[in-house]
């Protein structure tokens, strides 16, 4: 009986140990998994912070990695009831101070007219399209502006230089836009970096394995693809992006100024003549071939300009300036097909200011900020 009792106790103790061992193993596994996730999250935050400046404690500001210019707006918090007249610039390099004097000229002209409390938040950046303008404007969810100036056009035409089976209306046939389109949904919507970091890595791997499925970034169109640019497919995307900006501006109460995109191409244009600076441009900054074949680019810009005219007519309260018509035929205004000289920047601003006063039945949008 003693032997039997001892045997039963041993069995019971053995079962308890086994049961305790399983629980311990499970607990250790879960703790290890949690520790791995925490370490991965910290590593992801460190990566975005050290490489792109995304705040370590606020990983939800992921678009700062691609649009660092958003930080100034978020920091200064333009509002409808502040002491300033706040202007937002959306567009490409034409409005950027590194490529022209539009913003400076606008501030000076407004100052001479007595409007000295003007702030210009310039989000216009080289190579960016109407897609970038829409994503950046949407990311500024708490900012409010007295005027949103939208001037997009020629950069969108680059999207046309791709085969039909590759072209995407959200421009995700560019790696840049495949990344931005994915990560923009996280901006201001998450407290963790790991999830979007995994998406980012997946896109990078996909691009590495299928480079021929994408338009090469920051480079002229592929010679074997440039002929696809004859079809201005970008017009559909362009309309969708500008329409989204207008709809959001209406909900926010921001007034929008739309403008057609001005271009100038000399009748004797050639790439050789441009490179040797023999044309009637000023500085000869960028040849039109950067965006595609000259006739394809101009055709796409013209179609997109019709989109701008149509949207301006359809949306009540939207201000409109037909810069393409007003600035046409004046080589003195252009350093290349689209970038302005100092004189061109001044004339562009002159027409812009006329547009602000184009609706006499509405209050002067600058009157309250004198």
The band of 363, judged by pLDDT with boundaries at 50, 70 and 90, is very low
CB neighbour list of residue 245: distance below 8 Å, 6 or more residues apart:
90, 130, 133, 134, 137, 148, 150, 256
The band of 360, judged by pLDDT with boundaries at 50, 70 and 90, is very low
Q: How many helices (H) and strands (E) does the chain have?
A: 11, 5
Let me know if residue 271 belongs to a domain.
yes
The pLDDT > 90 percentage for the chain reads: 81
The band of 220, judged by pLDDT with boundaries at 50, 70 and 90, is confident
Let me know if residue 210 belongs to a domain.
no
Enclosing H/E stretch for 363: none
More confident residue, 286 or 361: 286
Let me know if residue 232 belongs to a domain.
yes
What is the total count of domains within the chain?
A: 1
Tens of pLDDT, residue by residue over 101-126, are: 999 999 999 999 999 999 999 999 99
* pLDDT number for residue 367: 54
- pLDDT score of 226 more than 90: yes
Q: In angstroms, rounded to a whole number, what is the distance separating the alpha carbons of residues 238 and 305?
A: 10
Let me know if residue 223 belongs to a domain.
yes
Reduced to 3 states (helix: H, G, I; strand: E, B; else coil), residue 259 is: strand
In order, the DSSP letters of 84-151 are: SEEEEEEESGGGSTTT-SHHHHHHHHHHHTT---EEEEE---TT--HHHHHHHHHH--S---SEEEEE
The DSSP output letter for 327 is: T
Tens of pLDDT, residue by residue over 263-303, are: 999 999 999 999 999 999 999 999 999 999 999 999 999 99
Phi, psi angle pair for 101, to nearest 5°? -115, 25
In order, the DSSP letters of 174-228 are: BHHHHHHHHHGGGTTT-S-SHHHHHHHHHHHHHHHH-GGGSBPTTSPPPTTTGGG
Let me know if residue 136 belongs to a domain.
yes
Q: In angstroms, rounded to a whole number, what is the distance separating the alpha carbons of residues 125 and 147?
A: 18
The band of 24, judged by pLDDT with boundaries at 50, 70 and 90, is confident
CATH code assigned at 120: 3.40.50.1110
The band of 313, judged by pLDDT with boundaries at 50, 70 and 90, is very high
| Range 17-22, long-range pairs (CB < 8 A, 24+ positions) | none
Instruction: Identify the weakest region by mean pLDDT among 126-140, 267-281, 355-369.
Output: 355-369
Let me know if residue 333 belongs to a domain.
yes
* pLDDT number for residue 212: 86
Domain region containing 340: 83-174+215-369
Tens of pLDDT, residue by residue over 145-161, are: 999 999 999 999 999 99
Let me know if residue 225 belongs to a domain.
yes
Tens of pLDDT, residue by residue over 43-100, are: 999 999 999 999 999 999 999 999 999 999 999 999 998 999 999 999 999 999 999 9
Tens of pLDDT, residue by residue over 198-216, are: 999 999 999 999 988 898 7
- When pLDDT is averaged across residues 184-206 and rounded to a whole number, the result is 95
Q: How far is CA 225 from CA 108, 238, 265, 332, in A?
A: 44, 21, 23, 33
* pLDDT number for residue 221: 92
- pLDDT score of 1 more than 50: no
- pLDDT score of 15 more than 60: no
- pLDDT score of 5 more than 50: no
* The two structure tokens encoding residue 167: 């072209």
* pLDDT number for residue 67: 98
Per the prediction, the chain carries an average pLDDT of 91
Let me know if residue 1 belongs to a domain.
no
């Amino acid at each position: 009986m003693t032997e039997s009792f001892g045997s039963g106790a041993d069995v019971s103790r053995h079962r308890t140990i086994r049961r305790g061992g399983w629980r311990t193993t499970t607990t250790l596994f879960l703790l290890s998994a949690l520790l791995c996730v925490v370490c991965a999250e910290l590593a992801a935050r460190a990566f975005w912070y050290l490489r792109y400046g995304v705040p370590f404690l606020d990983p939800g500001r992921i678009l700062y990695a691609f649009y660092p210019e958003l930080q100034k707006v978020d920091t200064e918090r333009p509002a409808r009831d502040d002491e300033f007249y706040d202007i937002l610039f959306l567009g490409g390099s034409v409005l950027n101070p590194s490529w022209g004097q539009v913003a400076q000229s606008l501030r000076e002209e407004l100052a001479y007219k007595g409007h000295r409390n003007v702030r210009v938040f310039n989000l216009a950046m080289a190579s960016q399209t109407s897609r970038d303008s829409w994503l950046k404007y949407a990311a500024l969810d708490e900012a409010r502006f007295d005027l949103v100036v939208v001037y997009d056009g020629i950069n969108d035409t680059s999207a046309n230089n791709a085969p039909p089976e590759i072209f995407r209306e959200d421009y995700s046939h560019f790696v840049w836009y495949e990344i931005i389109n994915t990560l923009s949904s996280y901006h201001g919507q998450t407290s963790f970096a790991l999830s979007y970091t995994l998406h980012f890595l997946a896109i990078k791997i996909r691009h590495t394995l299928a480079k021929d499925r994408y338009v090469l970034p920051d480079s002229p169109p592929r010679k074997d693809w440039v002929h696809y640019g004859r079809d201005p497919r970008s017009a559909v995307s362009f309309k969708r992006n500008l329409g989204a900006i207008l709809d959001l501006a209406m909900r926010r109460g921001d007034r929008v100024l739309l403008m057609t995109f001005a271009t100038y191409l000399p009748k004797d244009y050639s790439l050789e003549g441009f490179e040797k600076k023999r044309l009637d441009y000023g500085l000869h900054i960028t040849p039109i071939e950067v965006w595609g074949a000259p006739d394809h680019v101009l055709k796409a810009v013209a179609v997109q300009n019709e989109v701008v005219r149509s949207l301006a007519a359809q949306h009540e309260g939207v201000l409109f300036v037909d810069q393409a018509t007003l600035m046409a035929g004046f080589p003195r205004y252009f350093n290349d097909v689209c970038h302005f000289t100092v004189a061109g920047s001044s004339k562009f601003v002159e027409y812009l200011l006329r547009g602000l006063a184009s609706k006499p039945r509405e209050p002067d949008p600058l009157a309250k900020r004198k």
